[in-house]
Structures are given as structure tokens and as C-alpha cells.
Chains A and B, each alone.
Chain A
Amino acid sequence: MENNLRTQERPFFASAATVAGSLISVMHIAKEISLAAKNAKAIAERAGEKANGFRPITDFIDEMGHETISLVKSINTKALEVSRIAVDELRANDAYQRFLTAKEYADKDAISSIQRLIDAASEELSEHGVALKKEKSKLVDLLIEIKTQMRASAVISTCSRVEATQAEEHETSLGVVAENVDTATSKIAMIVKDCDDLLN
């Protein structure tokens, strides 16, 4: 995944669309976290008092899974919006460049009418540039948010591992849950970092 994201130089609209596409896998991983939380709840229920420390953590894990899914949906929508604006900017730039070429070919009398097109295209280009900057900044903020969430997830995974050791014969099962959360968190963090690199 990271190689696909990192190796090629792309136009920005493609990078933003790639961010949207790569986040689909984050959604799957976040769903796995939610599933892990449900398993952990069931195990903690069976373990009774021995898993008293683990039980509240399962709620955190479940909540985090849902929040991650919701956040990824927002990032996905924003990344597509940014990609669309970038495509509009590219098309406006294409028009701008072709109007400039037409001006070179044009007769003196016609230059003013083509110059009007150049001015309008330039203005449109500038508007797209402003919109792109604004929406890209929102996208980056959302990525920061998910990174923060993944840091919290790493803490939860550590707590889970500690609490699992207190659950006696259920230690292995709960340890697996903690491990799953940890792996999922690392995977998401890695994808988000790649997305971040793409946008910057």
C-alpha cells in the first residue's frame, strides 16, 4: 500500500483521490477494531470478576472503532472534494494556457477579445487556487484528528495488554484482542502517514 502511495509523482488531484481511495482500507481495519471490541466484551463477560479491569476498556475500543469509521468517512468526502477542485483548477489552467497560445496566433484586432478570456481564466484559476488551499487545509486537519485518535488507540492497546495479564486463564484470549487493536492501530497510522505525505 505505502509503495503505491509513495513511489510516483502525481498531479495533486490524483494524490487527493488516492488519499480517498486508500482510506477505504482504513474503514475495513476500523471495522475489525469494532469486531475485536465485541469479542473482548464476550470474553470479559465470561471471565467475570477476573476481567473487571478489561471490561471498561472494551467500550473504549468499540467507541474508537466507530469514531474512526465516522472520521474516515469525513476524510473520504473531503479528499474527493479536494480532488474535484484540483481537477477544476487543472482544466481552468488548461484553458488559460490555450487562450495564451491563441493570443499568440491572433490578429492584432482580435487580441483584446482573447485577452478578456485570459483575464477571466486567470481569475477563475485564482479562485480555484484559494478554494483548493482552504479545503486542503481542512483535509489536513482531519488527518491530524485521526492521527491523534490513533495515538489514543495505542494507549488503549497498552492498557488492554496490562489488564489482560490480570485476567488469569483468560489472559491469552484478551491478549490477542489487545494485539489485534495494536496491529490495527499501527496499520491505520501508517496509511494515514502516507496520506499525509501525499498531501504535503
Chain B
Amino acid sequence: MNDNILFDKGYQWIFFGRDPDKPEKIIDTNQYLIKDGNRSLLLDPGGIETFSAMLASITRHVRLDDISDIFASHQDPDIISSLGLWDKALPHARLHAPWLWEGFIRHFGCENIEYMGIPDEGCELELNNSKLVFIPAHYLHASGNYNVYDSNAKILMSGDIGAALEPAGSGMFVEDFDAHTQNMTLFHQRWMPSNKAKNDWVARVRNLDIEMMAPQHGRIFKGDDVKRFLDWFEALEVGIATNKLKKAA
């Protein structure tokens, strides 16, 4: 699995993904680690199938004993189905995940790790040098859903927002925004159910100082491409499956 340091000032944001050995039929995912001394946070650690590669990759950067916290933006299997394995690898860790999904996520196996339900309005998590905010992104796409914002690093880990479906081996960063929208449009229209929730999120996120927006699938947005994404997303009509079904009927 490839890795890349996104931020490195007192603590690090590290990207993991583009695994060349990933089984073909499972969706490609981006994982992130905030390495902050003995309080490191693993974000959306991924599914069972990528667990071994992920475990091996993070040990290049951090001692396992130093991973104190895990974050799951929502309940999907590509986000957190590996929980039962992390539960054995990091038995003393805490899992920060939507309170709404606790009863569901526990089906993946959570005997040792402590489940910390994130309230609807979000909350903060302070590690050693980093201070993070779990920002509500409900209905984008799951009914209980959060992003992670780091105002110091100016990074927004945006979960499925900004995701793109591309062939294996695609680049890490968005290079041509207009061309990239082709890989995002259908994903957002189909997976995101609510225009109201989307526009509310866009309005809140416009107030944040963001240099990098890091989704869980596809490429990372940098600099002006973040604003371009917000404009594009605001204009996009989502939740279109019912319209399509009506037309087909």
C-alpha cells in the first residue's frame, strides 16, 4: 500500500491507499493517520480485505501502542468492517464513530475497543499537538456521518464527500478539476440523498480555512480546487435515483 505525508509540522497527516495488491472487485479506499506521538488517530481504517496491507503500512510510521484512537465517519464496510481485527491489534484504543450507528458498527466486533459515540452536533478531540473537530455531515451519505477538520493543518477529511471512482493507479491529487468532475458526478448524485443536507454542509464548510480536502475515495483537492469543489457540489442536484426511476416508469 502506498503512503504519503500530507502535513508535517509538530505532527503528521499521512495518507494510505492505491494498494496495488487490492482485490480487484472491492472499491479503492483512502485511509489516513494523524501521527501525534503516543496519541495517534487512524481515520476510516478500511475493510477486512485491506487490513493486512494497512497494518503493515502504518507500522512504517507509528508504533502500534501509540495508536490511541480510531475514527469511523460512518458505518459502511469499506470504512470500518476491519474493526474486529483492529479490536485485537489495538485493544486499548477508542473508536470515535456516530452514536447513531453504534448498535450496527458493533456487529463488526468491538469487544475491547471503547466505542465513543459522536453526538449529532459533533465534538472535538485533542491529541498531543493536534486538535480536531468532528464536523456533522449527516446524510452525506449516511444518516449519521462526520468529517474531521484540523484548523492548524487546514485539512478537512471529508469522507465520501468529494469521492471519485477512477481506475486503479490514478493520481493522488486532483490535477484538472473540470475533467475530474466526470468521475464524481454520478457518485454524488446517487449516494448523496439530500439537497438540503448538502447545501447546509456547503454553507458551513465555506466558513472553514481549508488547504486540503481529503476524501475516502479518489483524489485529494488542494488550494483553489477546494473552493471549486464547493461551488460544483452546491450546484449539483443530488438524490436523483427516484427521478430516474420515475422517468423509466
The size of the chain B interface, using a CB distance under 8 A, is 17
Tell me if A92 and B88 are in contact (CB < 8 A).
Answer: yes
Tell me if A114 and B55 are in contact (CB < 8 A).
Answer: yes
Tell me if A91 and B59 are in contact (CB < 8 A).
Answer: no
| Chain A, Cβ-Cβ closest to B59 | A110
Tell me if A124 and B59 are in contact (CB < 8 A).
Answer: no
Residues of A59-96 contacting chain B, CB below 8 A: 91-92, 94-95
- A24 contacts the other chain (CB 8 A): no
Interface size class of A (residues with CB under 8 A): 20 to 34
| Chain B, Cβ-Cβ closest to A105 | B56
Tell me if B56 and A110 are in contact (CB < 8 A).
Answer: yes
CB distance from A41 to the nearest CB of B (A): 50
A contact face: mostly helix, strand, loop, or mixed: helix
How far is B84's CA from A105's CA once the two chains are assembled, in angstroms?
21
Residues of chain B with a CB closer than 8 A to A120's CB: 88
| Chain A, Cβ-Cβ closest to B84 | A91
- A159 contacts the other chain (CB 8 A): no
Residues of chain B with a CB closer than 8 A to A106's CB: 55-56, 59-60
Residues of chain A with a CB closer than 8 A to B60's CB: 106-107, 109-110
* Known contacts A92-B88, A95-B88, A99-B89: A113-B56 contact under CB 8 Å: no
How far is B87's CA from A121's CA once the two chains are assembled, in angstroms?
11
The 10 tightest CB contacts between A and B, nearest first, are A110-B59, A105-B56, A101-B52, A102-B55, A106-B56, A102-B56, A102-B52, A95-B88, A98-B52, A113-B64
5 additional A-B residue pairs with CB within 8 Å, beyond A95-B88, A110-B56, A116-B64: A102-B59, A106-B59, A113-B63, A114-B64, A120-B88
Among B55, B57, B59, B65, the residue within 8 A (CB) of A98 is B55
Tell me if B64 and A117 are in contact (CB < 8 A).
Answer: yes
How far is B59's CA from A101's CA once the two chains are assembled, in angstroms?
13
CB distance from B245 to the nearest CB of A (A): 39
Residues of B52-71 contacting chain A, CB below 8 A: 52-53, 55-57, 59-60, 63-65
CB distance from A157 to the nearest CB of B (A): 47
A-B contact pairs, 27 of them (CB 8 A): A91-B84, A91-B109, A94-B85, A95-B85, A98-B48, A98-B51, A98-B85, A99-B89, A101-B56, A102-B51, A102-B56, A102-B59, A104-B56, A105-B52, A105-B53, A105-B56, A105-B57, A106-B55, A106-B60, A107-B56, A107-B59, A110-B59, A113-B65, A114-B55, A116-B64, A117-B64, A121-B88
